[in-house]
Homo-oligomer: A and B are copies of this chain.
């Protein structure tokens, strides 16, 4: 696949270079580690630090969410690969203001290992760390094993709520509680239409037929639950929502936040056509959409497809969702 890049070996460095230049009033690199970014606006003393991270290729995640109301720092890995412990530890030290740091990341083996190691290293420097893993993808493991599920686009809502809690001055345990509550009430499921390719190889990372879609596909091309000819958007939405809602305790009158997330090359037009059906189905069920997000929040390079996320929200979570955010790639007034 064609790409507007220079040397495939340096795409992550050059992307971060461009990003930091474009948004120097928001973020800066930590000296000595090119893959560690922190907010340019000093984190307040006593505020719990929010650290996010993961592989590159998911932009605007994760670096786009460092800013007021979201994260204080981000550790960036290679494309679709976890950051090593070093940048995670560096960011931790930079954003700890005496109140500890919460690590928010998706449930992938590499991330679990590296964030875990960084937390151990941070403990040796007397920095308290809480870790909250996103496990929102209902297609990736059965309901009884939610803790084995992958994190996909629903992670965005975990960042949103945890970031707000930290901003409101909640302490470490409380911020972690809000993040876990956000994750526990969040379910996502996606559909893939076409693959992306890694800059190093230029080859598609999975293969679908010309008329084929894959329901339940993961953010790195992990296999879904079935392949089938591309169906009408309404039918696809119905299938995703059936799986999502069937996995939650949700009743008439409940409030939810909805995220329709594009994976990379799927036009906004299609995402809004999907949202239209989500709205119809939820209305039929008497479920109230408290707030909605439609767009590209966590992508997979130029992958084609989308995911739907539903988060059941109570009053505390609504307050977190409504809190303003000012990040380079996400602003909410």
Q: Which of A35-43, A95-103, A231-239 contacts B (4 or more CB under 8 A)?
A: A231-239
- Across the interface, A2 reaches (CB within 8 A) one of B213, B292, B296, namely B213
Does A268 contact B59, Cβ atoms closer than 8 Å?
A: yes
Residues of chain B lying within 8 A (CB to CB) of residue A64: 268
Give the nearest-CB partner of A19 in chain B: B272
Interface of A is mostly: mixed
A residues at B contact (CB < 8 Å): 2-6, 11, 14-19, 21-22, 56-57, 59-60, 64, 191, 193-194, 196, 210-213, 230, 232-234, 236, 264-277, 279, 292, 294-296, 299, 301-302, 304-306, 326, 329, 331-333
Does B4 contact A233, Cβ atoms closer than 8 Å?
A: yes
Give the nearest-CB partner of A25 in chain B: B291
Residues of chain B lying within 8 A (CB to CB) of residue A236: 4
Q: Choose among A3, A60, A267, A305 the residue with the greatest number of B CB atoms under 10 Å from its CB.
A: A267
Does A18 contact B273, Cβ atoms closer than 8 Å?
A: yes
CA distance A6 to B59 in the complex (A): 28
With A21-B275, A329-B295 as given contacts, are A2 and B302 in contact (CB-CB < 8 Å)?
A: no
Does A267 contact B302, Cβ atoms closer than 8 Å?
A: yes
Residues of chain B lying within 8 A (CB to CB) of residue A270: 3-5
So how many copies of this chain end up in the complex? 2
CA distance A212 to B2 in the complex (A): 8
Residues of chain B lying within 8 A (CB to CB) of residue A268: 15, 59-60, 64, 299, 329
Q: Choose among A4, A277, A304 the residue with the greatest number of B CB atoms under 10 Å from its CB.
A: A4
Residues of chain B lying within 8 A (CB to CB) of residue A21: 275-276, 279
CA distance A213 to B2 in the complex (A): 9
Give the nearest-CB partner of A68 in chain B: B333
Q: Choose among A57, A64, A194, A275 the residue with the greatest number of B CB atoms under 10 Å from its CB.
A: A275
Residues of chain B lying within 8 A (CB to CB) of residue A304: 2, 265, 302
Given contacts A2-B194, A18-B279, A266-B302, 11 further A-B contacts (CB under 8 A): A2-B212, A2-B230, A5-B232, A5-B269, A14-B273, A21-B276, A22-B294, A57-B267, A295-B329, A331-B331, A331-B332
- Across the interface, A193 reaches (CB within 8 A) one of B2, B210, B233, namely B2
Give the nearest-CB partner of A265 in chain B: B265
Does B294 contact A57, Cβ atoms closer than 8 Å?
A: no
